[in-house]
Structure 1
Amino acid sequence: MIDSDVFDFVERCRKHGAAASLLTDLLETVKKIGFEHLILSGVPLGGQKLAPMVELNGWPNGWFERYVEAEHAAVDGVCIYSAKTLKPFLWSEVPAKWSQTEASRRVAGEATEFGIWSGFAVPMLSIHHWQSVMSFASSAKICKLHPRQQAQLVTMAVYAGMTIQALSNDDENGEGLLTDREKEVLLWAAAGKTSSETSQILGLTERTVKWHTTRAREAFGVVTTTQAVVEAVRRRLIHP
């Protein structure tokens, strides 16, 4: 891939009106340096679920479903490290204390069943999540990128992330959805507090706390309090 490929992609980003077309374009471009799959997602923290945080899903059929169902994000060394750095990295560069655990090695082993052996991750700041990451995946057993290629991938990842944010900003603002008390209750839920514990902290009855969480779930159209917390964090309505 040459630099003009990157700049052409950046130019096209302004013309994409949907995530699907952006994903297709990006996948076609990065194939030129050996990456067949990619995903852009918020990095789950504190028990957050991955699925609601995914913004571009170019993983192989079946792998995303298995990854989410098994809650691999909680033990995957690449995912864990993505929350701890803003420096782009090869998957092989993840420190051993996260990449060499039994659980992380199991995730990596399962990924090979879907043709994923190596990759390159670009952590980045996001207005929708505390931190996001675009992870490029390859069927090559060893991913080799020279500095120029890494810079090309970082540039495309950042512009793709900016485009996704711009596409979602207009209709996912969320201002006015929650009352201050509902935000407060979700904030303590994000900290792992039960309804009983939150009631003691806020000086409310447990019934009142549950009522506020129910109203918050209804505001987002979700079933669980955890999903409401994820939505509130994603929209920057609370800051755990």
Structure 2
Amino acid sequence: MSGSTFDHATEAFDFIDSLDHLDSPGKVVEAVAKTFSLFGFENFIITGLPSPRERFEQVVLLKKWPRGWFDIYAREDYVRSDPIIRLCRNTTQPFEWSEAPYDRAGEPRAAEIMERATDFRMKEGFCLPIHGINGYEACFSMSGVDLDLSSRTKPALHLMAMYAFERARELLKPSLHAGSGLLTPREREALIWAAAGKSAADTGEILGITERTVTAHIASACQKLDAVNKTQAVARALQYKLIGI
């Protein structure tokens, strides 16, 4: 692991550890704002994706958005035409805002949303779609004007954002869920190495097992933790104290 990668991983784990000691959503907002500003982010929102019968403002969990932009976004019901939200519904992979497609000529409202956002210093962004196996849909979207988005920073941002979402959701709506069944020692090991940024192949070499076996352990852990991907499983395993950092 390179020095830069190690620094990003350390920052992520320090952030995760700090969230466990916070006892209110407001404190989570402050912690997220402080840490994510190190990567150039000025604004963020953690929100559910509304159904046709729900208003955007009804499903927002936490936010640090410019007041004027939030009022405009909610009043104009931009969530129905936002290309970022649309892509969130159709992928489980984190993406940069520039990767969310829309037709400027054929979708003038989508173009309007993206252009008006820049008036509030929301020029570039990074978004984490969040999907539950029971159909729950949400996202963690963050933005700024000069972002540090690289192959080294994105994994750290992904894990930190996922953990912040889980912590916010727990504080807002406490759950007794602590993992659907205990993880096996191998499942815990696989997630610990995944948290450290190791691939399935790397983990297999470390543990002396095949890459396929590692992948199977992670898939089993995802199922037990109601997670749709490895990063969400790591975040929940950390939250439920099933693995340590």
Of residues 40-49 and 11-20 in structure 1, the stretch that sits farther from structure 2 once superposed is 40-49
Which residue is 1:50 aligned to?
Answer: 56
- Residue 138 of structure 1, aligned match among 128, 138, 144: 144
CA contact (8 A) 2:45 2:60 kept: yes
Percent of residue pairs identical = 25
Aligned partner of 2:213 in structure 1 is none
Gaps of at least 5 residues in structure 2 are: 1-6, 176-245
CA–CA distance in 2 between the matches of 1:108 and 1:162?
28
Task: Check the 8 A contact 1:77/1:98 in 2, yes or no.
Answer: no
* TM-score scaled by length of structure 1: 0.65
Contact 1:41/1:134 (8 A) holds in 2: yes
Aligned to 1:189: none
Structure 1 runs of 4+ with >4 Å offset: 97-100, 126-129
Give the aligned partner of residue 112 of structure 1.
Answer: 118
Mapped pair 1:94 → 2:100: yes
- Name the residue aligned to 1:62: 68
Distance in 2 separating the partners of 1:128 and 1:114: 35
TM-score scaled to structure 2, two decimals? 0.64
* Residue-by-residue CA offset, 1:133-164 (whole Å, 9 max, x unaligned): 00011123xx5611221111110111011101
Aligned partner of residue 66 in structure 2, secondary structure: coil
CA RMSD of aligned residues (A): 2.6
Structure 1 residue 122, shift from structure 2 partner: 0.2
Q: In the alignment, residue 131 of structure 2 is paired with which amino acid?
A: L
SS at match of 2:152: helix
Contact 1:39 1:56 in 2 (8 A): yes
Structure with max Cα Rg: 1
After the TM superposition, which of the residue ranges 145-154 and 118-127 deviates more from structure 2? 118-127
What corresponds to 2:160 in structure 1? 156
- Provide structure 1 residue ranges, at least 5 long, that are not aligned to the other structure: 172-240
Amino acid across the alignment from 2:169:
Q
Map 1:13-92; keep pairs closer than 5 Å: 13-92=19-98
Question: Cα distance, 1:55 vs. partner?
Answer: 0.7
Q: How does 1:213-224 map to 2 (within 5 A)?
A: none
